[in-house]
Amino acid sequence: MAEVVHTPRVFSGIQPSGGLTLGNYLGALKRFGETQDRGDMPTIYCIVDMHAITVWQDPEKLNRATRELTAGFIASGIDPTKSILFNQSAVPGHAQLGWIFNCVARLGWMQRMTQFKDKAGKNSENVSLGLFAYPALMAADILVYHATHVPVGEDQKQHVELTRDIAIKFNNDYGVDFFPVPEPVIEGAATRVMSLRDGTKKMSKSDPSDMSRINLTDDADAIAKKIKKAKTDPEPLPETLEGLDGRPEARNLVNIYAALSGKTAAEVVAEYAGQPFGSFKPALADLAVDRLSPISTEMSRLMQDPAEIDRILAHGAEQANAIAEPIVRRAYQIVGMVGA
Ligand code: ATP
Ligand code: MG
């Protein structure tokens, strides 16, 4: 069969499962804006509310978190006239294709997902079936737009690889070349920002400890306090990058500084070589405040007009649906559903 060449298209999403963190900004949002501004591929960005409810969410808080996340996208540089920006539940194709993919993905594949193991912990009998099936819905999020490039943080690599497996298996099972096999795009100095309390755990918006993360809505005092209290070791900054080996907390702060300043980690280490964290941390706090405060100010301004946010989301959903609907219909026809 001749290889179908798929038009390049970017898709990525963020869950409204809490407030945005510095990890979400550096690993995702900042790069979403840069990808949009390069302008070489259409960009589709989604607030994935259906993923958020795989863990119970207070309905009112979910409403607010969805609007606040939309504000966070816009404040971080996603322009709804250049990118399609919408919430997942407003486009039925995600759930429709998600079901087909539940029937394509194998139980064994899902059991290997490390995020599920991390999130379910010792409680795996009691978590929702949705949390387990989450990666099949994520595959639908991407493939319902025939997206080819998926900018994500390092933690989502395994899920994008599963999406590739699902696309390949669907194409093989039905003898078609219908779905593209998308690439994860994981770039930059901070593709895995770690918790400020534990350098072996990633920073997450759903972590119970607020001190573990910097929120995009934190004020200058909170940012300075969290960085000052961030766990480090007693050694000063090393002379070279290799000197960060075995020092996850130190490496994390260097990576954050690099990503925020647009320098490489090697440049940051060269600049602060031999200095104690007592002088590096205030410099990092100043830099973080400088980069994040315009975003948080813009987020609060946008949040004053929730009706406008809802209009933006509704318009984005219409645009997204126009792409998704014919792809879902064709997938249903391929599978053999009458009436599709
Ligand atoms: P949750 O704890 O609810 O899973 P989260 O902070 O992990 O929330 P997600 O909505 O799951 O956020 O992920 C959104 C995007 O942010 C993904 O592309 C993910 O890879 C990226 N991301 C999340 N945490 C980090 C991090 N610590 N460093 C870099 N990127 C991250
Ligand atoms: Mg996550």
Residue 47 parent element (H or E): strand 43-47
Q: Write the residue with the smallest CA distance to atom 16 of ligand 1.
A: 24
Look-up of token digits 């350098």: 199
**Concatenated DSSP letters of 206-273:** T-S-GGG--BTT--HHHHHHHHHHS---SS---SSGGGGTT-HHHHHHHHHHHHHHT--HHHHHHHHT
Give the binding-site residues of ligand 1, using a 6 Å CB cut-off.
14-15, 17, 21, 23-24, 26-28, 152-153, 155-156, 191-193, 202-206
Rounded distance from Cα 113 to ligand 2 centre (Å):
13
Atom of ligand 1 nearest to the CA of 12: 18
Binding residue ranges for L-tryptophan: 141
Rounded distance from Cα 156 to ligand 1 centre (Å):
8
Nearest bound ligand to the CA of residue 27? 1
Structure-token pair, residue 47: 């607030």
- Consecutive 10-residue runs of the chain (340 residues): their mean pLDDT? 80 96 97 97 98 97 98 98 98 98 98 95 92 98 98 98 98 98 95 96 93 96 96 95 95 97 96 95 97 96 98 98 98 96
pLDDT score for 5: 83
DSSP character at residue 43: E
Rounded distance from Cα 204 to ligand 2 centre (Å):
7
Residues designated catalytic: 119, 202, 205
Bridge partners of 45? 12, 85
Q: Which of 10, 11, 12, 14 to mutate to test the pocket of ligand 1 (most atoms within 8 A of CB)?
A: 14
Contacts of residue 143, defined as CB under 8 A and 6 or more positions apart, other chains included, come to 97, 101, 163, 166, 167, 179, 180, 182, 327
pLDDT score for 3: 62
pTM reported for the whole predicted model: 0.96
* Residue 18 exposure: Cα atoms within 13 Å on the Cβ side: 18
DSSP character at residue 87: E
Q: Which long-range contacts (CB under 8 A, 24 or more apart) does 262-269 make?
A: 263/189, 264/189, 265/189, 265/241, 266/240, 266/241, 269/237, 269/238, 269/239, 269/240, 269/241, 269/243, 269/244
Nearest bound ligand to the CA of residue 52? 1
pLDDT score for 76: 98
